[in-house]
Amino acid sequence: MISKFLLVTLLTTSVAAVSSCSEQAAKSAQTAGQDSPNIMLILADDLAYSDLGAYGSEIETPNIDLLAKQGVMFTRFHTSAMCSPSRAMLLTGVDQHKNGYGTMGEYLATEQRGQPGYEGYLNNQVVTVANMLKTSGFNTYMTGKWHLGDSSLPSNRGFDRSFILLQGAGSHFNNTGYAPQRTTVDYYRNAKRAELPDNFYSSDFYTSEMIQYIEDGRDSEDPFFGYLAFSAPHFPLHAPSNLIEKYVERYQVGWDIIRKQRHESLKTLGLIDEQALMAKRLDGVPDWEELDTEEQRYQAKKMAVYAAMVDSVDQNIGELVAYLKSINEYDNTVFIFLSDNGPESNDFASERTVPSVTDWIADTFDNRYENLGNEGSFIYYGKPWAHVGAAAHRFHKTVMTQGGINSPLIISYPNSLPQNRIVSEFSSVVDITPTILELVSASHPGTQFQGRLVHGMDGRSILPYLRSQEETIYPPGTGNGFELFGHNAFISANWKILRLMDPYGDFTWGLYDLDKDPAELNDLSGQFPEIFQEMLALYADYESRNGLIQVPEGWKMFENLGPAPTPEN
């Protein structure tokens, strides 16, 4: 392994990535749409690594599991540790520190405000995959959560038709917001504000809208690109009551047992090493048996609501699949399913991390046991159940450990790609757009698009690896870096370096072998000093190329919470 590192230069640039992608996708934009498959990109919100049946969960997800069986499952796919940076990278193939989401717009540090790549909205220096596919003859549709700023709606970024939740969270039954500063949220149909129907439930409505768009576009005979961005299972936890009841008894055994069961299932399925250790229980999470009966009952129902949300997402994907089969488009559609980050650990309803939100929830909503998950409730499942979702890993959303950034990815297209295959190669969310472009023989415009300068892509197409044209997705000595809220990481092959700020770490680097230690429990920097130094050099190069602005030590996320910036005219 060391010799391979020494043979490869540390410098990898966006220009090289674009060149590689262009070579792989040789056809012109004018002909890319001809005889191309449809692309259905499906994104779940805060879905954890082990929340799907195919990834060892007790939650029933037969439709997603079938896509996995008929396609490729990735065990080491990585996103950012929070939603907007991941979504911006997903749609552009460009690193978050260049696309406008160097950090979440709501959490900009003083040093980051006004700096390139830290605009807090999807900036104009990137081109979206929807833009590129639209110019290549595709019908382009989006439904679901946008959360990429109000200055560039989907209708401005390449989508022909869209129905979106503009902000990052809200009730799944109506337009109730997520904080006293945002008591209602905004929905848009294309570029105009939209009202919700009386029977609205987010997952159902987003799916039915997507189906309608596809149906309306059939006369054109052009392929479609659909981006179905569920806002489930993001808080507040809401689900149809019949699905909640389905899971209530299942979680009475408690988080300790469910977590162990998932960890063992991941081993049995071959998704983590048989000898991998499970991280200790997170600080502040009690042993389930320490809770009294009523508290156990209450906590079990919260997880039942969450499971019901995941179940609902799966059922809606089943409806979409059934529709595509009915119009004979299923076999010609590539399905890409993923989550945007790890599980949410915050519980603002019970923890006074942001007191104004806790008080607003207490004053506004009915969170009695009988009402949990119904319209009028507002709950989270908190750190204990989030730790279940990240059973193979350490920590959760917002943190650059595997618990925050190792997400499920399934790519299913039996006509051209392998079936029932597990891929343990490193891959990243910036790889999705290059992969889509190669699937349809389209190419990135390079450095200019519609009269403006744009960044080239940082990701790599996964297809050459899947088609056995290349031995790895990322050659030895290359990889990708990650940073958010001052937490830093770089992954190359099975190696990862990681540095965490307080309260998750002491801000010193460690080296971890993800093959054997997915929970990042054993620092090997002293045992493999040469690899450690090479990884540090890779991260330094990543930091320099992407204009990363590190927050100062001692920076606190919620102490810097503020409104997202708006662009200057």
- Residues carrying an active site annotation: 83, 147
Distance CA 32, CA 37 (A): 10
Report d(CA 186, CA 200) in Å as an integer: 14
3-state helix/strand/coil string of 77-136: EECCCCHHHHHHHHHHCCCHHHHCCCCCHHHCCCCCCCCCCCCCCCCCCCCCHHHHHHCC
Of 564, 565, 487, 549, give the one whose Cα is nearest residue 111. Answer: 549
DSSP annotation string for 511-548: EEETTT-TT-----TTT-HHHHHHHHHHHHHHHHHTT-
Pairwise CA distance, residues 91 & 101, whole Å:
12
Measuring CA to CA, how many Å separate 8 from each of 2, 281, 476, 490, 541? 11, 40, 7, 16, 14
Strand ranges (E), 326-437: 333-339, 406-412, 421-423, 427-428
174 dihedral zone (left: phi>0; alpha: psi -120 to 50; beta)? beta
Could you give the CA distance from residue 344 to residue 389 in angstroms, rounded to a whole number?
Answer: 9
Q: Quote the CA–CA distance of 400 and 484 in Å, as a whole number.
A: 7
CB–CB of 313/233 below 8 Å? yes
**H or E element in which residue 42 lies:** strand 38-44
SS3 state at 338: strand
Task: Enumerate the H helices of 428-528 as residue ranges.
Answer: 432-439, 463-466
Contacts of 300 (CB under 8 A, 6+ apart): 248, 251, 252, 254
